[in-house]
Every structure is written in C-alpha cells, then in structure tokens.
Amino acid sequence: MTALAPEAPAPAAKSAASRTAANLGLRPGWVTIAGKEFADHVQSVRFYVLLIVVGASALIPLYFAAERIRSLAESVSGAQAAFLALFVLGPEGLNLGPISFTVQAFVAIAAPLLGVAFAFDAVNGERHQGTLPRLLSQPIHRDDVINGKYVAGLAVITLALVATLTVISGFGLLRLGITPALEEVIRLIAWVGVTVLYVSLWLAFGTLLSVVIRRASTSALVGFGIWLFVAIPFIGPLLVGLLGNFLAAGATSAAEYYSTVQWVQRLLPGQVYAEASAALLNPAVTTVSASEIYGDQYAQQMPQTLLSFDQSFLLILPHIVILLALTIGCFALAYARFMRQEVRA
C-alpha cells in the first residue's frame, strides 16, 4: 500500500488565522489605506505648513509669557501646578479682547484647523482626480476607504500635537527650569487626549463635507468658514453670547445669569473643549461654571487647595461624553452617505 502523504499545515494555519481575524473584525484593508495616507500626509507640504502654524500659535504666547511664568515658578517653588502655568498663563498687561494670549487658547483655535485641513478633500479629492473608482475596484471593502483615511488623518494630527507639546515642555525644562511632577504629566497627557478628541470632531466634520460636497474647493471654503465662525472668538461666540445675554435678561441673581449664558454658549463645541481644558490644566478650578472659568485667575488660585487628577477628570467627564458623541455622530453621517453614494468609473 502506498503511504498517504501528510497534509500541508500551512493552508490550514492560514485559514485558521483568516477565520480568527474575521471573527475579531480585523481587516487589513483600512490598515493599508491608513498607512499609505499617513505617509502621504507626512510628506506633504500641507503637513509642514500646518505644523508651523500650530507650533507658532503655541510658542509665541509662551515666549512673551516666559518672564511672568518664571516669577510665578519662583514664588510658588515646589507647588504642584507650577509646570502647568506654561500652558495657561499669558503675558501680563496684554489684552486681546475675547482672545486669551495663552498656549491653551491658541491651541484651541489652531487645532481645529488641522482637522478641517486634513479632511476637506479626503473623498472628493479622489473623486476629482478619478482615482476613487480604481481605489474601490481593489480587493478591499468600501468602508475601508473612509475608515483608513480618517485614521490616517487622526494619526498625523496627533503627531503634530505631541510634537508641539514636547517642544513646550522642553522650553519649560531648559529655559525656565521648571520640572513637572507626576500629577502634572498625567494632566498634560489627559489634555492632549481631550485635544485629540476635539480635533477628531473637526476631522469627522471635514470628512462629512468631503463626502457631501463634490468639489474640494467648495468643501474647503465651507469648512474654513465654519471654523472661523465657531472657533475664532469673534463672530460665532459673540453672537451666541449675545443670545445668552438676551435669554438671561430676566435672571434674578448673578449665578442664574451666568448659568443661562453658559448653557447657551455650550451649544458650540469650542466652549465645551475650553471648559475641559481649563479644568485639566488648572487644578485650582473646582467647577466649570462661567464665573470661575473666565478671567485670568490662575496666579491668584495657585496657593489654594488643588484638586487631584481624579477629581478634575470626573468634573469634565460630561464634556468628554459630549465631544465623543458629536464626533461619532458626524462620522456616522459621513460613513452612511459614503456607503450609499454611487461611484462611476
């Protein structure tokens, strides 16, 4: 009798691996697209221009506030929140009206610009170049395209934000001689996480524009226009503030007045992010009410009892949930619209 040849184990192993990947929902299609998009973003002129914009928006106010931060660090030597003053303290005597000249405020303005800039042509750019039909003809799932593009944009924005944070921290360590405590490091990491979440909302919004609007130039105009209206504290926040003042005209107390105005202002995601940032970067903030968030009270609050990170995180947990829900909602709309769109060769 002829001995039976043993079966090759490789196909079985490969099949088992494929079944395991399928059961876990792991598909390499979006990973491939994300890797290619990430490489294109990092090598593009757009990335370096926006990196310079974000870096300058963070370093310029830090440079002008260096002397005040140094004097504060010397007066409260050993205090827990001395290192955090790098991000929330501005130069003394400089008044820019509604814009606070601090690292935190300028990052809040510049970071959404990254989200819109890396997403406004994510889909319609491929459609305009005629590469979208060829891309979808590859052996990948249709949703891998939009998922991969979104992940790549979020990864490159995170890289830019982490690089900016590292430069600011190095500035504080080398020039000002401020050494962060472990609690401050944790707060900074959490702040970067909340900032990435805030930017991911704008990235999802830009992706939605690129799916809904056919021309990339039109989606860019709409995206940057809404960014100017919402993120820059001149037009949008001013109008919302006027609406809040109108609704709070009949308030019987200052607490009721501030509560009504802030409730209306929270219709803008930038307000939600500003409150979360203030609570994370200033341990002296014990509430996110408008009466304590606004105004440069950092130096006066330093000697007070500071909240722990756990307490501050519980304080901003509703803000994180709101930003996450808005991000999921925008991306879900973009995802559903893209999956239903007809793509012609």
Cβ–Cβ under 8 Å, residues 296 and 173 = no
CB-based contact 168:56 (threshold 8 Å): no
Helix (H, G, I), strand (E, B) or coil at 266: coil
Is the pLDDT at 159 greater than 50, yes or no? yes
Residue from 190, 192, 171 nearest 83 by CA:
171
| Between 77 and 343, the higher pLDDT residue | 343
Please give the mean pLDDT across all residues of the chain: 76
- CA–CA dist 338, 223 (Å, integer): 18
Q: Residue 85's closest CA among 308, 298, 258?
A: 298
Percentage of the chain beyond pLDDT 70 is 68
Whether this model's pTM surpasses 0.85 = no
pLDDT of residue 258: 64
pLDDT, tens only, 278-319: 889 888 888 776 544 444 444 444 445 678 889 889 999 999
pLDDT in tens, 177-232: 777 788 888 999 999 999 999 999 999 999 999 999 988 889 889 988 888 888 77
How far CA 191 is from CA of 87, 165, 260, in Å, comes to 11, 10, 27
Tokens for 31?
A: 């990973």
- Please check the confidence at residue 12 and state whether its pLDDT lies above 60: no
Q: Residue 97: pLDDT band by 50, 70, 90 thresholds? A: low
The reported pLDDT for the residue numbered 250 is 64
pLDDT-derived band at 96 (thresholds 50, 70, 90) equals low
